[in-house]
Amino acid sequence: MSADFFGMTTLAASGVTEADPTGAAALHRTKVLEMTQAAEDAVLAPSGAGAWSADIRAALATRIATLNGETALAERYAARIGDDSAAALADPANDGSAQNMSAAVAFMDKVAARTRDVKAEDIETLKAAGIDDADIVRLAELNAFLAYQIRLVAGLKLMRGAA
Amino acid sequence: MSKVVHKFTRNVPHWQPRVTPVVLAEASQEQLDALQVTPSNTKVSEYVLVLAHDPETLKVRSPLFNAIMYDPGGMSRAERELGAIGASIVNRCVYCAAVHADRHAKLERDTDVTDKIFMSGADADLSPRNKAILNFAIKLSQCPSEASDADMTMLREAGLDDNEILDLILSAALFGWANRLMHVLGDPVRKEAAA
């Protein structure tokens, strides 16, 4: 087990500690939770970032956590944004046009909140905006991982009785 | 010709990518490592070849996926499939719903539960335990989550312990991830025989 198991983003944002019963359940799935942290590292700060810098990724993560009402998680991601121009993307009210990212931002919001309505045309819109296939997959993976982590945090908070 | 499948089914469709998959013969060493391609295992699905565009994520995603769905202990494998199905219904991921309804039916040797879920969704007439599990997975999968203390109480009253509840949260959440790849990056299609 990693030295700072309960300090990993998902458990810390859920407020799960070693002392509560939910902590015991978390320790039962040590490997899964450690791999969850490894996945977070891979989507938030990969070495091959493509078109999406770590600052942009942290801003989009903050945005999606905010859309889901997960304040503690949003604050953790907001703290990782180093670049002021990327920081504006964290606000769900900003459509990304000032950052020249309106197509990517609209896609991220739709995939996060209205997944069932995503159609082939939404991918064509990204391609028309000059986003290549690898960068489309990178956006989808970032969004998809966050969907997982946000629901894991929401569920852990309910287990603790702290939602 | 192929036709996009819009209705839930256990008959697993073909998945047709909306972006161009990585060409295996041109894959980088990092992509090959993430794809776990070995001389004895060179058959790779188009889906995984699409995900190979982001090899760092793919490399950690596959073992995480397997651990959540198959590691021993906690909630049964069939019940983890119910968590996956609940998420896939909310996100209308016909492909994921088909794969995991088919697995559920095979594990349980029963098609009744998944028939009822495809017919009636959250209102399906199931055993109290299955109903509590499906209800929780569906509510947790909304954006934002609609799962409440009452839904958690329903799980505990249906007999789930903390380890089982965590496995349910993990399997439903994991399909929030899988659905946003499968349903977003491709279409479930049925290939029609050439006339």
pLDDT, one tens digit per residue, over B78-123 is 999 999 999 999 999 999 999 999 999 999 999 999 999 999 999 9
Helices (H), B46-127: 46-51, 55-70, 77-90, 94-108, 112-120
Whether residues B41 and B97 fall in one domain: no
Token pair recorded at residue A127: 């391609």
* Partners of B17 in beta bridges: B186
d(CA B63, CA B98) in angstroms, rounded, equals 22
Determine phi and psi for B3, rounding to 5 degrees: -120, 135
- Let me know whether B116 and B46 are in one domain: no
What's the pLDDT score for residue A106? 98
pLDDT of residue A162: 72
Q: B138 to chain A, minimum CA–CA distance in Å?
A: 11
- Residues B128 and B67: their CA atoms lie apart, in Å, by 27
Q: How confident is the model at residue B39 (pLDDT cuts 50, 70, 90)?
A: low
Q: Considering the domain boundaries, does residue B126 fall inside one?
A: yes
Q: Could you list the pLDDT tens digit for every one of the 163 residues in chain A?
A: 777 999 999 999 999 999 999 999 999 999 999 999 999 999 999 999 999 999 999 999 999 999 999 999 999 999 999 988 899 999 999 999 999 999 999 999 999 999 999 999 999 999 999 999 999 999 999 999 999 999 999 999 999 997 6
Non-local CB neighbours of B184 within 8 Å, separated by 6+ positions: A111, A115, A118, A122, A123, A140, A143, A144
Are B129 and B107 in the same domain?
Answer: yes
Query: Does B62 lie in the same domain as B138?
Result: no
Residues 6+ positions from B107 with CB-CB distance below 8 Å: B77, B78, B81
Check if the interface score ipTM surpasses 0.90. yes
Contact A152 B163 (CB under 8 A): no
What are the tens digits of pLDDT across the range B149-158?
999 999 999 9
Q: Which residues of B touch A38 (CB under 8 A)?
A: 60, 64
Q: Please tell me whether residues B7 and B82 are part of one structural domain.
A: no
Residue B143 and residue B85 share a domain: yes
**B181 lies in a domain?**
no
Write the secondary structure of B167-181 as one string of H (helix), E (strand) and C (coil).
HHHHHHHHHHHHHHH
DSSP A59-120: HHHHHHHHHTT-HHHHHHHHTT---HHHHGGGSTT--SGGGT-HHHHHHHHHHHH-GGG--H
Q: Kindly list the residues from chain B whose CB atom is less than 8 angstroms away from the CB atom of residue A145.
A: 57, 177
Is A5-160 a CATH 1.20.1290 domain? yes
CATH code, domain carrying B146:
1.20.1290.10
**Residues near A32 by Cβ (< 8 Å), separated by ≥ 6?**
B64, B67, B68, B71, B170
Q: Does B54 contact A122 at a Cβ distance shorter than 8 Å?
A: no
Which chain B residues touch A133 with a CB distance below 8 Å?
A: 19-20, 53
pLDDT score for B69? 98
**If you average pLDDT over residues B39-60, what whole number do you get?**
90
Same domain as B132, residue B63: no
What pLDDT is stored for residue B90 in this prediction? Answer: 98
The domain segmentation of chain A, as residue ranges, is 5-160
Half-sphere exposure of B70 (CA within 13 A, CB side): 8
Q: Looking at beta carbons, which residues of chain A come within 8 Å of B143?
A: 67-68, 112-115, 147
Q: Are residues B94 and B142 in the same domain?
A: yes
In a shared domain, residues B87 and B167: yes
Cβ separation of A161 and B181 shorter than 8 Å?
no
To the nearest whole Å, the CA of A141 is away from the closest chain B CA by 7
Give the per-residue pLDDT at B194: 59
Q: How far apart are CA B12 and CA B14, in angstroms?
A: 7
For residue B193, is pLDDT > 70?
no
Q: Identify the residue with better confidence: B191 or B40.
A: B191
**pLDDT tens string B13-32:** 999 999 999 999 999 999 99
Q: Is residue B46 part of a domain?
A: yes
Shared domain check, B170 and B80 = yes
Domain of residue B63, residue span: 2-69+186-191
Same domain flag for B50 and B92: no
Reply yes or no on whether the pLDDT at B41 is more than 90: no
Q: Distance between CA atoms of A61 and A73, rounded to whole angstroms?
A: 9
